[in-house]
Each structure stands twice: as C-alpha cells, then as structure tokens.
Chain A
C-alpha cells in the first residue's frame, strides 16, 4: 500500500531562519511526487512536481528535492507569509494521489 509520512508535524521558525520539511514515501512505481501549500480555510494550492531522484525545483524561497525514498522542501529565509500547511503527495499506478498529513509551518516576525 502506498504511504506518505511527513515530518515534523509542526514547525515554528523565526523570520529568516532557514529549515527543511521532510516527506518520506513507500510506493510501487513512483510516477510523480507533488508539493502543495494549504492556507487555513482554503483548498491546497499546487507548488511543485518531481519525477525522478536527483531532480530539484525552485520557486522564490522554496526548493524541492527528491531521492528514491524521500523528498525535502527547503525554505530559505522564510517570511511570515510562508506560514501554511505544506502537503506532500505521491502518484503511482492508477493515477491516484496519496497525500501525507502535512507539516504546519509558522514563521514569526
């Protein structure tokens, strides 16, 4: 069964304090790994797609990387507006997305 585990469950950072979120996965035949951002009371918003080990994607202060067993979302010099829940999802056969429980990020000024 496909599984996604995200850690930590919650993370508090000071503005400018860089850190990383982890997404470890167990899947047969990974077709893609996806990162989403979810603000309170909103639906998830797509951030990145990663397809193969070694791949990296960047967007503003965020960089996503992928290995054969896990993905990292690196946040460089975060700002309060980066506060949100970050969700990781994997896609295997059948096109179904399996989401992790998310990491709640709070950035304080």
Chain B
C-alpha cells in the first residue's frame, strides 16, 4: 500500500515569492492534515480536512497561507508571499477515521526562504 506522497521534497525560494506544496493521502483516508515542523520542534497543526471540508483551520495564517482539498483527495498548501520565517518542513498526514490520533505522515516538504 502506497504511503502519503508529498512534493516537492525540497524548495528554495526568495522572500515574497509564492510556493505551493502538494499532498496525496493514503487511498481511502478521509481525514487529511497539514502540519508545520520547525527545526528541533514537534509538528504543529495548520489545517485539518474531513473529506473536502476544512474543519479546523484556526492555526492557519490566513493572510498568506491557503489550502484546498478538491474532491476530497489530493490537497495543496500555498504560501503567498513567503517570508523568511516560513522556512520549515511542511508535513502532510492522513488517517482513516475522524478523531484518530494514529496519523500516517508523508516525508515532508522542506522550504527554505532566502
């Protein structure tokens, strides 16, 4: 069974440029998460989807971050414009049931903003 797939794995951009990350969850997993992980820290939730509905986006900085999950499968996380402080690893995770704490993570997309 294929795991959670994320792309790109690495991205280097200059500040004020836009960037987008893509996630394909495990087939059949209705719940999808985007997490942010800074160096030496644990993951922090940005947004949670149940199918195509964003049910928790309270931690998403909506002035520059946006996300979508069309058709309740793949998801895209966008940052526009990027700031130096956005340099981090962006992790996508999925789970088969709502409310489960057993998440399946992708390998992450490492963003460096210069």
Q: Which residues of A contact B (CB under 8 A)?
A: 4, 31-32, 34, 41-46, 49, 87, 89, 91, 94-97, 99-102
Would A101 and B40 be within 8 Å (CB), given that A43-B107, A96-B45 are in contact?
A: yes
Would A43 and B41 be within 8 Å (CB), given that A95-B98, A95-B99 are in contact?
A: no
| B90-114 with Cβ < 8 A to chain A | 91, 93, 98-99, 101-108
A43, B105: Cβ atoms closer than 8 Å: yes
CB-contact partner of B42 in A42, A95, A101, under 8 A: A101
B56, A41: Cβ atoms closer than 8 Å: no
Q: Provide the residues of chain A in CB contact with B105, threshold 8 Å.
A: 43-45
B102, A34: Cβ atoms closer than 8 Å: yes
Dominant SS among interface residues on chain B: loop
- Cβ of B8 < 8 Å from any Cβ of A? no
Please give me the 4 A-B residue pairs with the lowest Cβ-Cβ distance, nearest first. Answer: A43-B105, A99-B42, A95-B99, A91-B101
Would A44 and B101 be within 8 Å (CB), given that A94-B56, A96-B56 are in contact?
A: no
Q: Which residues of B contact A (CB under 8 A)?
A: 4, 40-45, 48, 56, 91, 93, 98-99, 101-108
Q: Provide the residues of chain A in CB contact with B108, threshold 8 Å.
A: 41-43
B41, A46: Cβ atoms closer than 8 Å: no
Task: Give the Cβ gap from B98 to chain A, nearest Cβ, in Å.
Answer: 7
B99, A99: Cβ atoms closer than 8 Å: no
Q: Provide the residues of chain B in CB contact with A96, threshold 8 Å.
A: 45, 48, 56
Would A34 and B101 be within 8 Å (CB), given that A96-B45, A101-B41 are in contact?
A: yes
Looking at B48, B101, B105, the one whose CB has the most chain A CB atoms below 10 A away is: B101
Given the complex of chains A and B, what is the CA–CA distance between A43 and B104 in angstroms?
Answer: 8
